[in-house]
Structure 1
Amino acid sequence: MIALLLVISFVLHALSLFLIILLYLQLSKVKETEKHQQQMTEEMEQTFSAYLLEWKEENERFLKKLSDMMGNRSKEDVKKNHSIAQETSAKEEELPDYFPNVGDVKDIVDIRQQAAPPSLADEAWKLYEQGKTIEEIAKILKKGKTEIELLLKFRQK
């Protein structure tokens, strides 16, 4: 009897030792995965910060070029405006009588928002209100009958 209990005890101890080893291996895999994730996170942060630094440097170079161009341009504009004023005064003298106020004419750009085209549901509803059947609406809009039925049902609610 004691021998049987000892054998069962050894088997249980071996089984528990085996399970402890398996759990330790799983734990080491999890720790390894965490380290790998942390390394990847650090690499991503470094890459992102390098990208941002490059972007910042590029923006600074652009702003410097732009300010240089604007500085040069303003000096050139003063010269150009002076020469243009002289040219226009010479041209105004040469213009015929049907251009009485050429100097007063300004370019005007009118940007108007155009109305968005009506949606499929709106078109289907208008046709439905005109008394068209679902089949006729589907043919006119080149859509399926079921699709038109659904559009109309959603529109009614």
Structure 2
Amino acid sequence: MEYLLIFISFLLHIVTFIVLRHYYLKQQAYHKEQQKFQEEKKELEQLLMSYLIEMKEENDRLLQVVQSNTQRPSAPKAKEQPASTSFYQENKQTETINASKTVTKEEPEYRPLVDAIEDEPVAYKKSYQAEIIDRYARGETPEMIAKAMDRGKTEVELIIKFHKK
């Protein structure tokens, strides 16, 4: 009888050790996943931080360009004002003519407001993101694309990365 109890005790000890080892392995896998997640999080934070720094630099350059452009007097704006007032006067004249026509006719004549726009061909321009993806698909490296398009390297890499997802 004692041998049977000792045998059962050994079996229970073995089962307990197996269960403990199983839980230990699960815990190790969980810790590895957490470390991997933390590393990816740090990498993404660094990538976004560098992207933000590049954006700030580009914004500073843009502000400098805008400030230098606002310091120069602009002559074309003065030329545009008489054109807008003449358009207003032409509209007023056509309104008075149309008003006289409506008095004589009961149905007003329909005239489209803009005829010239329909005759002009519309030229579409690719967005810079589409251009980056297109160049990357042709085999250019992100560095070459960044130089050619005057963009930041990390910005190009981010656009390519987001497009892949």
**TM-score normalised per structure 2:** 0.47
Highest Rg: 1 or 2?
1
TM-score after normalising by structure 1: 0.49
